[in-house]
Amino acid sequence: MPDFFALIPAAGSGSRMGDELPKQFLPLAGRPMISHTLRSLCASPRISCVFVVLAPNDGEWMRHDWSEFSGKLIVLECGGATRAESVLNGLKSARVASSISDNDWVLVHDAARPCLGKAQLEKLMDELADDEVGGLLAVPVADTLKRSDTANRVERTESRDKLWQAQTPQMFRYSLLVEALGRTGGIGMTDDASAIEALGLRPRLILSDARNLKVTYPADLALAELILGNL
Ligand code: CTP
Ligand code: MG
């Protein structure tokens, strides 16, 4: 039986957040944001090991106490210039640092999604465990979609039929994900599934909900804190 591993890319700078501190370390409900992300993944007994991918010049990680995750956490300081690079570098280092093998599942999950619920995580693993390709958590688009011109005037309204917002975790077999990211270089891609799609494969969408938001802008912090208090 394949094992489940998780990999958390945490080498971004959080430019849209506009804080000097990379957003994954910003305080959220009294702890660094990434510690909530780690808790959600480390708490699952099905996940044997959680890799965190830091920027090589990270100066923040070591300022905090991570002992509650010892035994399950492996820190890799090999982040790259893009998310895709960080994930690919992390996957390659994980091979050296652990017993992960070709057929094992990897759940790639953004450090900046600290509100992942237990039910969503378990559902993703349950529904994809026998899948040929793998897939991701996602939410059907709820708002009406407008396409703009360069002056921010509505050019037209787009149909939202069959449109989904991709979240993480995104779950694929180790060797397939390494091949996909290696072949495409991840250029212009903001998630892992895009690289799999570029191979001609069709990842499955697993229904999630809006609580698993990605903290991107300052206003998202307050929202994340509210959600964490109600998970
Ligand atoms: N990430 C990474 N390596 C990069 C860029 C992003 O590991 N070179 C990680 C981030 O740390 C984050 C996740 O990928 O956990 C999702 O990326 P995003 O939300 O875009 O974070 P940032 O790139 O840090 O933010 P921004 O795009 O606003 O600069
Ligand atoms: Mg980014």
pLDDT tens per residue across all 231 residues of the chain: 899 999 999 999 999 999 999 999 999 999 999 999 999 999 999 999 999 999 999 999 999 999 999 999 999 999 999 999 999 999 999 999 999 999 999 999 999 999 999 999 999 999 999 999 999 999 999 999 999 999 999 999 999 999 999 999 999 999 999 999 999 887 888 999 999 999 999 999 999 999 999 999 999 999 999 999 998
What is the per-residue pLDDT for 185? 83
For 7, the enclosing helix (H) or strand (E) is strand 4-10
Residue 217 CA to ligand 1 center (angstroms) comes to: 12
Strand order in the sheet with 135-140: 73-76, 47-54, 4-10, 105-108, 164-173, 135-140, 204-207
R_g of the chain, CA atoms, integer Å: 17
- Find the helix packing angle between 118-128 and 33-42, rounded to 10°: 50
CB within 6 Å of ligand 1 — which residues? 9-16, 24, 53, 79-83, 86, 110-112, 214, 216
What is the per-residue pLDDT for 102? 97
What is the separation of C-alpha 96 from the centre of its chain, rounded to a whole number of angstroms?
22
Closest atom of ligand 1 to CA, residue 82: 8
Quick one: DSSP state of residue 50?
A: E
Residue 83 CA to ligand 2 center (angstroms) comes to: 7
Ligand number with the minimum distance to the CA of 11:
1
CB environment 62-90: b (16+ within 10 A), e (fewer): eeeeeeebeebbbbbbbbbebbbbbbbbb
CB atoms inside a 10 Å sphere around CB 184: 18
What is the separation of C-alpha 155 from the centre of its chain, rounded to a whole number of angstroms?
33
21 three-state secondary structure: coil
At residue 86's C-alpha, the angle toward residues 83 and 87, to 5°, is 90
pTM: 0.97
49 Cβ partners below 8 Å, 6+ apart?
A: 5, 6, 72, 73, 74, 98, 100
Asked if residue 172 lies in contact with residue 141, where contact means CB atoms within 8 angstroms, the answer is no
